[in-house]
């Protein structure tokens, strides 16, 4: 209530009592007590194919909101297929929808496009299907093949392509794709089954009909598709609510068919990064007023900041300092401060976890036994983690070797209406200060470790993430409360996810402490993982007794 004691204390301490609810992402079409219905974009798996391959839409949703922590997968769509997915939120919904899918009572209608001739207007394809390596194939008479049936109806014949409706009566993997190819009209973009290359696989789950598990009425969900929209654009549109977040990755290398090229949107400016000195030839993010380019460097220590800074390449010139928005939080950025502009976009979802207090399904940030909500942010840079932690109601200590970046972080606090006087900003070496805090018996409920891959200080000397991360973890554990959370992150290219996890676990075991809860988090979905470009960011959240 206004003027309450809690608000008065929070004001004196410079803390913010947060509204933890963030708007639902644009891909959410419907939610009630029992169901969550989403419009899955193309290029996103229903669920993660492996632990380090990036979150599927299922994992991303479960780890986003506490009320979605128990989501159940009731059916799946292929990675390159867009459209309607329904997830169960309750045991009643899971049981009811599973029964309906099993009894083939759920009606599914897909839209597809082909550039091949289609004979007939209404027809049914019935052929058994079995797996054959990376694909599936029609297998008439094969004892190990499963029966499959798909009804097709021509919707529109155009000069260069045909739109069809497909209704799968059975639910086999790749069924519509196999049956379309078997009938002689492979789907546009579906190269696996002989389709002509296109900007996406032109297959879309347009309608779902089933009996609502509680209300017992027919639930009907429909969603249109624009097959002319590239896969990458559809993915970002499903993820990003531009009212809350105006900065994200627009093109991510090989995953977006642009090997060696990366484009970030920062408010109304685009930053193009490439290993080659090439002109900007790709479409800019929507709303771009000006764009900058930066050559990716492998040996940054040998270059001056002015040489590493992005250079203006077209459109409007950005102010020396401009403001971006992420999950409703504001940050100052600059294209004139060297290689880094002030915010690492691949940490957006991790900053959100500090903002909302929800790490993942069944993993709250704060344990009930932690009396003091204090966050230590080592290697704080411009204090992005600290700002979100403070907005989430915590008291923060930001530690960095650079006074300039700490001053930048101080301004970020002010930008968000947070009194910096209620928080600490310490200029110094992380190892030195961890030792000082330990000697004084100071404890924190959360410790954030996101060090640079390489750094040098007078106190510690040279730090290399690939060889020294375990030492850093042991130092951090000396100030982490029992039941506290350790956030460890690295983008060291030479360290695999398995090696990173092993380093963390060995370091923790060597101190005699125990990991109670662990969640590995890859980079966010606008940084999609590709076989030619594995995940660069490795992040682990651990609750440690």
Catalytic residue among 78, 256, 349, 429: 78
Closest CA to 227 of 204, 245, 211: 204
CA distances from 421 to 12, 414, 428, 439 (A): 9, 10, 19, 25
CA distances from 18 to 289, 350, 392 (A): 33, 17, 5
Closest CA to 329 of 300, 353, 297: 353
Closest CA to 64 of 123, 22, 106: 22
Contact 398, 377 (CB under 8 A): yes
Hey, is 308 helix, strand or coil?
Answer: helix
Q: Chain-centre distance of CA 459, in angstroms?
A: 36
Contact 148, 156 (CB under 8 A): no
Residue 285, burial from CB neighbour count under 10 angstroms (0-12, 13-18, 19+): buried
Residues in the chain: 545
Return d(Cα 83, Cα 101) in angstroms, integer: 17
Contact 121, 153 (CB under 8 A): yes
Residue 254 tokens read as: 């090989």
Neighbours of 155 (CB within 10 A): 13
Partners of residue 88 on adjacent β-strands: 35, 72
Return d(Cα 448, Cα 486) in angstroms, integer: 6
CA distances from 7 to 2, 11, 371 (A): 8, 6, 18
Judge whether 419 counts as a catalytic residue. no
Query: Catalytic site residues?
Result: 78
């Amino acid at each position: 209530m206004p003027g309450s004691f809690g608000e008065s204390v929070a004001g004196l301490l410079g803390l913010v009592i947060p509204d933890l609810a963030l708007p639902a992402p644009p891909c959410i079409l419907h939610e009630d007590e029992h169901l969550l219905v989403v419009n899955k974009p193309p290029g996103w798996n229903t669920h993660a194919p492996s632990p380090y391959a990036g979150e599927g839409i299922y994992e991303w949703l479960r780890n986003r909101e506490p009320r979605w922590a128990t989501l159940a997968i009731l059916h799946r769509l292929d990675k390159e297929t867009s459209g309607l997915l329904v997830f169960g939120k309750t045991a009643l919904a899971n049981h009811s929808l599973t029964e309906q899918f099993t009894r083939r009572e759920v009606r599914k209608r897909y839209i597809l496009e082909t550039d091949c001739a289609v004979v007939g207007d209404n027809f049914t394809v019935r052929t058994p299907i079995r797996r054959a390596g990376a694909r599936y194939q029609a297998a008439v008479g094969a004892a190990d093949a499963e029966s499959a049936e798909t009804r097709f109806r021509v919707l529109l014949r155009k000069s260069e392509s045909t739109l069809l409706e497909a209704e799968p009566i059975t639910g086999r993997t790749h069924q519509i794709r196999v049956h379309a190819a078997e009938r002689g009209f492979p789907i546009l973009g579906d190269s696996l089954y002989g389709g002509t290359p296109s900007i996406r696989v032109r297959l879309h789950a347009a309608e779902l009909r089933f009996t609502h598990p509680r209300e017992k009425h027919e639930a009907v969900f429909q969603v249109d598709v624009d097959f002319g929209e590239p896969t990458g654009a559809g993915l970002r549109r499903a993820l990003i609510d531009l009212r809350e977040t105006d900065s994200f990755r627009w093109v991510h290398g090989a995953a977006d068919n642009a090997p060696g090229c990366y484009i970030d949107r920062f408010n109304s400016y685009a930053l193009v990064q490439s290993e080659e000195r090439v002109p900007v030839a790709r479409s800019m993010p929507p709303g771009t007023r000006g764009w900058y380019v930066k050559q990716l460097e492998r040996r940054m220590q040998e270059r001056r900041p002015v040489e590493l800074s992005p250079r203006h390449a077209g459109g409007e010139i950005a102010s020396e300092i401009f403001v971006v928005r992420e999950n409703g939080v504001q940050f100052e950025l600059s294209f004139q401060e060297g290689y880094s502009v002030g915010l690492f976009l691949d940490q957006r979802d991790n900053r959100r976890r500090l903002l909302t207090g929800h790490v993942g399904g069944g993993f709250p940030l704060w344990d009930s036994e932690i009396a003091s909500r204090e966050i230590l942010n080592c290697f704080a840079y411009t204090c992005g983690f600290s700002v979100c932690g403070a907005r989430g109601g915590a008291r923060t200590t930001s530690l960095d070797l650079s006074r300039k970046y700490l001053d930048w972080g101080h301004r970020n606090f002010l930008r968000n209406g947070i009194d910096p006087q209620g928080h600490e900003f310490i200029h110094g070496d992380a190892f030195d200060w961890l030792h000082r805090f330990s000697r004084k018996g100071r404890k924190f409920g959360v410790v954030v470790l996101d060090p640079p891959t390489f750094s040098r200080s007078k106190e510690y000397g040279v730090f290399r993430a690939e060889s020294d991360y375990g030492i850093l973890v042991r130092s951090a554990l000396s100030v982490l409360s029992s039941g506290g959370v350790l956030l460890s992150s690295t983008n060291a290219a030479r360290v695999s996810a398995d090696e990173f996890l092993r380093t963390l676990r060995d370091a923790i075991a060597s101190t005699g402490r125990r990991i109670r809860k662990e969640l590995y988090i890859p980079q966010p979905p606008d940084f999609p993982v590709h076989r030619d470009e594995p995940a660069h960011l490795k992040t682990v959240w651990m609750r440690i007794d």
